[in-house]
Structure 1
Amino acid sequence: MRLNNYWLLVAPLLLLVMALYAWPVINILWLSVTEPQAGLQNYEKLFASSSLARILWTTLRVCLLTTFGAVLAGYLVAYMMAHLASGERSWMLTFVLVSFWVSVLVRAFAWLTLLGRNGLLNGALISSGLTDEPITFVRNELGVLIGMIHYMIPYAVLPLLANMQGLDGRVMSASRSLGAGPLVTFRRIYLPLTMPGIFAASILVFVISLGFYVTPAILGGGRVLMAAEYISVQVLVTLQWGTASMLATLMLGGVLALMFTLSRFMKLSEVFGAKA
């Protein structure tokens, strides 16, 4: 079958993707420069509005901290899974996958119950005498970070585990046979070999974190306003579609710029586990 015939087979699916994905994105880009009137006045708000700059900085800071925490915890979990027997690894992988079935809304309310002023954690701390007053774990950035990191850990574990399982164990054995201790072997051999998995997990966690809405709204209690929640307010409350479209375009452009920058230094297909 010639190459042109292959394109004929792919064309219906390609048109469907264009209709369901590309067209709405183009419409958002168009609204950002035409609503409420044609021009770049929506993008000028990025430099003129201090509140908008604060929201973007909060979003970036929370996403970076979430990425760091989730990838660090995910690395530890993936490292343990990669060095377990196949049966135990399967059980741990099952628990990781089961977490995807729990709604983000359920998780947020569960953390609210655990970390609230009258929650289980504060009750345990007060009853043990470690503190006299309830500690404020929620309705602040700390609560948002706890909820987001907890939700994102499975997304970090999977690419890290795939990367670690693809490593040749004989390399680490050779390092130890030449006199390197476990710490030196990990720092100079194992960690560099797992860098593609770390990059893949970081990209995945950061991109997903940019769109978080429910967790910051519940655990932040309205005090930690991120871009996704602000976009929702602009669409549903103030009806400023131009501002909402501008922020959505900015977030999309940031993700694409990040992917392009990383592609200049490494093959993204290999980072995410694809083989030529």
Structure 2
Amino acid sequence: MRSCPLPQMLRKYIAPGWLLIAPFLLLLLALYFGPILNILWLSFTDPTPGLENYEKLITSDSLARIIWTTVRVCLLTTGFSVLIGYCIAYAMVHANQKKQNAMLALLLISFWISVLVRTFSWLMLLGTNGLLNNSLEALNIISEPIAFVRNELGVLIGMVHYMVPYAVLPLLANMQGLDTRVIQASRNLGATGGQTFRKVYLPLTKPGLVASSLLVFILSLGFYVTPAILGGGKVLMVAEYISVQLLVTLKWGTAAMLAALMLFGVMALLYIMSRFMKLSTAFGGASS
């Protein structure tokens, strides 16, 4: 029996289109995974081979404090963003088509505004000589400026403002997919509006809440511009600390270790999100 040539075997199991894009796909994989593998390699080999960089997670108090600050700020940002996003998504779902389109347009416009522009806008608004402090002093409500920036409060305000649209998307997709007959049945059986929301509507939106919370938390982990500007160097988070290790202290191993830690943390959170909701839906794609 004559053996089948290799090209014919490939055509049998692989569509011709894949063979055309295979070189570009391999190049893309190399460009994507190459830097990641290099980061992992540096985290174990710089300055000396071993687990020295990862031991700092236990032995370094300053590093532990930075990680705790990052987690705390991200958790607070997630909580406030999801709460505000839930209210916005709920209002959009129950508004008429005209108002819903207007609200969606405003939501999309916020994506087009640069994070740097937003951050400097908040700095001008909340600064010591900003519009808010000047207005409160002019009304004799305060006698001296309130420190809204250069602390965690300013960082939270800037991060929540940026993350609310991302919180709305998965919640909106989830709410639009609910069967309204279930809600109507609850009201027909004598449940009040509050009981219907608490016992029927809220549990049905649990997947959206989980997806929204994880999405906001994951994106918050990588914030750099907002904490650097609104925090004024007093709120040091992991992303900014990595930049300092790379550009100032030249401790590439420590920076690579923190980057690897964030990478695996994000991958774990994305896996958890995928158990509750399609990732494409969480990022605003179709739910079907």
What TM-score comes out, normalization by structure 1 length? Answer: 0.93
Q: Is the 8 A contact 1:200 1:271 kept in 2?
A: no
- Give a deviation string over 1:56-87, Cα, whole Å, max 9, x none: 00000000100111111111111101111112
Residue 130 (structure 2) pairs with residue 116 (structure 1): no
The question of whether the paired residues in 2 share the 8 Å contact of 1:199 and 1:271 is answered with no
What corresponds to 2:161 in structure 1? 150
CA contact under 8 A between 2:207 and 2:277: conserved in structure 1?
no
- Per the alignment, do residues 2 and 164 of structure 1 end up closer, same or farther by CA in structure 2, a change over 3 Å counting? farther
Q: Separation in 2 of the partners of 1:270 and 1:28?
A: 27
Offset at residue 212 of structure 1 (A): 0.3
Question: What are the residue-to-residue correspondences of 1:208-223 with 2, within 5 Å?
Answer: 208-223=219-234
Deviation at 1:88, TM superposition (A): 1.3
Structure 2: segments with no counterpart, 5+ residues: 1-10
SS in 2 for 1:118: coil
Letter in 1 for 2:94: H
Matching residue within 96, 111, 116 for 1:85: 96
Aligned pair partner of 2:85 in 74, 85, 92: 74
Matched residues in 2 for 1:57 and 1:96: separation?
31
Distance 1:126 1:76, change over 3 A: same
Match of 2:109 in 1: 98
How far 1:258 moved relative to its partner? Answer: 2.6
Q: Indicate yes or no: 2:57 matched with 1:46.
A: yes
Q: 2:146 is aligned with what amino acid?
A: I
2:72 to 61, 68, 76: 61
Mapped partners of 2:68, 2:201: distance in 1: 34
The alignment's C-alpha RMSD in Å is: 1.9
C-alpha deviations, 1:9-28, integer Å up to 9, x for none? Answer: 66345424312321111111
CA distance in 1 between counterparts of 2:88 and 2:265 reads 29
Alpha-carbon offset, residue 162 of structure 1: 1.1
Q: Is the 8 A contact 1:105 1:214 kept in 2?
A: yes
Conserved 8 A contact 1:235-1:244: yes
Structure 1 position 15 matched with structure 2 position 34: no
Deviations 1:101-126 (A, max 9, x none): 11111111100011111111111222
Query: Does the C-alpha gap of structure 1 residues 29 and 63 become closer, same or farther in structure 2, counting only changes over 3 Å?
Result: same
Q: Which runs of 5+ in 1 are unaligned?
A: none
Mapped contact 2:278–2:287 kept (Cα < 8 A):
no
Decide which of 158, 179, 185 is 1:174's aligned counterpart: 185
* Match in the other structure for 2:4: none
- Contact persistence 1:104–1:214 (CA under 8 A): yes
Give the length in aligned residue pairs.
Answer: 275
The 8 Å contact of residues 217 and 224 in structure 1, kept in 2 or not, is answered as yes
Amino acid at match of 1:258: L
Paired position in structure 1 for 2:14:
4
Amino acid at match of 2:167: A
